[in-house]
Amino acid sequence: MAIDIKVATWLYKFIKSHPSIQRTLDVGLGEGASAMTIMLATGLKHTAIDSLQFTKAGLTNIARFGFAEQLEILAGLSSLVLAELRQSSRVFDLSFLDAGGRIDDLFVDFHFVSAMTTIGGFILIPDNDRPTVLKFINYLQTNRPDFQVLQDHKISRITVVQKLSQEDLRHWGDFHDF
């Protein structure tokens, strides 16, 4: 489902208010609205992962609005593509984590994206009104001291998570119920 104009406006303003955001990743291209908003806000090349481009809606929209040259599209399951990106030592200042609402997908995608996020960088998690996303946000707040949940935006339905440190210093057995 595409982001609406309220979410796109919020996303644009968020990026513009953080000029350090240069390297960006979109996990889940969909109809291309978040990718185009990110490219418009930064004016820079943007990387997007999508396994659902059988309709080609996102790529069609991006080409129609003149953003095709700015987009690096990586087709495939996010878990597999993210593993390859991590192996290639890519880093990102902002990731829009919207590949799906299943909690297991959120855990896997966040695992890889978190390792590629710069210190001080952001991971934006949309659809924070969905039960699985809310549960995942609870996990982050109780189990990931290397990240801080900054804001839960009700209007945009986006949760902003910021990386505080490079290392995940949890002991292998650390766990807090969420």
79 found inside a domain? yes
pLDDT tens string 58-79: 888 999 999 999 999 998 889 9
pLDDT above 70 for 169: no
So what's the pLDDT on residue 3? Answer: 83
Q: Is residue 106 part of a domain?
A: yes
pLDDT in tens, 14-62: 999 999 999 999 998 888 999 999 999 999 999 999 876 555 788 889 9
Does residue 102 belong to any structural domain of this protein? yes
How many angstroms from the chain centroid is the CA of residue 14?
14
Provide the pairing of β-strand 24-27 with 46-50.
parallel
Is residue 178 a part of any domain in this protein? Answer: no
What the block records as the tokens of 70 is 């700015």
Q: Tell me whether residue 174 is in a domain.
A: no
Q: Look at the chain and report how many structural domains it folds into.
A: 1
pTM recorded for the entire structure: 0.88
CATH number for the domain harbouring residue 99: 3.40.50.150
Whether 169 maps to a domain, the answer reads: no
Domain extent, residue 108, equals 5-163
DSSP annotation string for 6-38: HHHHHHHHHHHT-TT--SEEEE--TTSHHHHHH
**Looking at the domain assignment, is residue 57 inside a domain?**
yes
Contact 122, 160 (CB under 8 A): yes
